[in-house]
Amino acid sequence: MSSEFRLPALGADMDDGTILEWHVAPGSRVKRGDVVAVVETDKGAIDVEIFMDGVVHELVVAPGTRIPVGTVIATIDAEDAAPAPSLTPSPAPAGEGRGEGSSSSPSSTERLKVSPAARRRARELHVDVEALTGTGPGGAITVEDVERVQPTEKGGMREAIAAAMSRSKREIPHYYLSTTIDVTPATEWLAAHNAAAPVAERLLFAALIVKSVALACRELEGFSGFHRDGRYEQSTAVHVGVAVALRGGGLVAPAIMDTADKPLAALMDDFRALVTRARAGRLRASELAAPTIILTSLGEASVEAVFPIIQPPQVAIVGAGAVVERPWVVGGKVVPRQVLTLSLGADHRVTDGRLGAQFLARIAARLQSPASL
Amino acid sequence: MDRAELTRRVLSLVTEIAPDVDAATVIPGINFRDQFDFDSMDTLNFAIALHRELGVDVPETDYAQLANLDKCVAYLMKEGTVS
């Protein structure tokens, strides 16, 4: 018997998507987690993974078709035999310029030479790249080619963010807390670690915060989970989403999966790969749908504090400002210290400020002993 | 490697680590941060790419020398590790 595979929602604000290409054909064996299709959404081109093992029976939706979330896009015959050989979940070539181009894709739309920057701009502006004439090297379509056609406003992603944040402010009774902590021990530990480590193993301060948030989620209930259909479900897994600002506007918050279980080095590798793929528009569906809580780290923009807005159906979001040097009182003396303002936006339907304060304190405590992260 | 060749390779690394940046728009004397919102993640990726492609290990304390294309090329030439 065939099972139906439907277009998954990749977040609260996604209503539809366009199949860009299929990575499988009827008869292909698939297993849970394989990337089977690339779908164009307001958050960029997303690799969609399948949730079941089996053999593809039929591809119901052709590339180029825009369809609502929940539409059956393929049918899968369940397999009872031995484990199927795995398909290689190779990333689709995103045009030229990344040097990773496997070109085995059956799609014709991906054959167009479009720079990744231009493809992303085209998505933002709702410009059909196939209708353009490229002026770049080898006839490649550049950002300028896209903007020539549609020189205005941001488009889809801005609308998606507006929809999600409006819903959040309408439905979620937020409360906000903040605390400023001395992170000098953590910055010193980090500088020493990075001075000794090979360049590829250096850490960012944000990675320490991500891990601290994940561990705090394990210790206190009510911050890592989802509020759906009038009730809260605590998530057993902790997937911290990291807010990634996109150049030229917009942001996405994909998850570092199983954040609390990962050693810092592995967490940092995932973090780095995630940011790069987010900016190249190559995120996976599961990464966008997975976050159980989000960290927004606006330190780069030099603000000292952020008052973060929850992304439904989540119930909490942690904000981190810039690490700045400030006069601080230690043992009765004023001394210069590196300080960080942590903040929390949380859902009053689930927790109160007292528990929220404890949650922030747990994160702060973890940051005091970076070597044990 | 002469300056022009080094500049070309550095530029290709910039667009590799930031695929959403158009190489044609990079202005050599303007900081990547001001021009393209480069953040600490971009800088780290840049340092990793420089190490991988050119064999230069830029310590974290020298990251300021990678702030823009001109500075970066000058730094790499001065270090003498790229000849």
Q: Please tell me the distance in Å from B67's CA to the nearest CA on chain A.
A: 14
Is the minimum CB–CB distance between B31 and chain A shorter than 8 Å?
no
Q: Residue A251 — pLDDT band, cuts 50, 70, 90?
A: confident
Mean pLDDT over all residues of chain A? 84
Structural domains in chain A, CATH included, are 1-109 (2.40.50.100), 112-156 (4.10.320.10), 173-372 (3.30.559.10)
Q: Which residues contact A188 (CB under 8 A, 6 or more apart)?
A: none
Complex-level ipTM? 0.89
pTM over 0.95: no
Coil, strand or helix at A278: helix
Q: Is A199 on the interface with B (CB under 8 A)?
A: yes
Helix or strand run (H / E) with residue B74? helix B69-79
- What are A149's two structure tokens? 């056609």
Residue A91: predicted pLDDT: 39
Q: Which domain holds residue B63?
A: 3-79
Note whether A99 contacts B: Cβ–Cβ < 8 A: yes
The total number of structural domains that make up chain B = 1
Of the residues B14, B20, B21, the best mutation for testing chain A's interface (the one with the most A CB atoms within 10 Å of its CB) is B20
Q: What three-state secondary structure class fits A313?
A: coil
The Cα B19–Cα B27 span in angstroms is 16
Q: Which residues of A touch B40 (CB under 8 A)?
A: 204-206, 300
Nearest residue in chain B measured CA to CA from A117: B20
CA distance A168 to A312: 6
Chain B environment of A118 (Cβ under 8 Å): 22
Rounded to 10 degrees, the C-alpha dihedral A94/A96/A101/A106 comes to 60
Mean pLDDT of A64-86: 74
* Confidence at A43, pLDDT banded by 50, 70, 90: confident
In this model, does residue A97 exceed pLDDT 50?
Answer: no
A112 pLDDT tier (thresholds 50, 70, 90): low
Give B80→chain A minimum CA distance, Å.
Answer: 19
> Quick one: DSSP state of residue A281?
T
Closest CA to A373 of A233, A197, A212: A212
Chain B CB within 8 Å of residue A324 CB:
no
Q: What is the DSSP letter of A84?
A: P
- Residue range A195-221: average pLDDT? 97
Q: What is the CATH number of the domain that holds B14?
A: 1.10.1200.10
How far apart are the C-alpha atoms of A84 and A261, rounded to whole Å? Answer: 29
Q: How far apart are the first and last CA of chain B?
A: 5
What confidence score (pLDDT) does residue A364 get? 97
Q: For residue A95, what is the nearest residue in chain B, using CA coordinates? A: B19
Q: Indicate the SS3 state at residue A319.
A: strand
- Among A110, A123, A109, smallest CA distance to A246 is for A123
Q: Which member of A99, A120, A202 has the closest CB to residue B44?
A: A202
In the prediction, which pLDDT does A98 show?
35
Cβ pair A320, A344 in contact under 8 A: no
Question: Of B21, B37, B39, which has the smallest distance from its Cβ to A117's Cβ?
Answer: B21
Q: Higher-confidence residue: A45 or A32? A: A32
In 3D space, the residue among A263, A150, A167 whose CA is nearest the CA of residue A207 turns out to be: A263
Question: Which residues in chain A have Cβ-Cβ distances shorter than 8 Å to B18?
Answer: 247, 279
**Residue A331, number of CB atoms within 10 A of its CB:** 5
Q: With contact defined as beta carbons under 8 Å apart, do A112 and A141 qualify?
A: yes
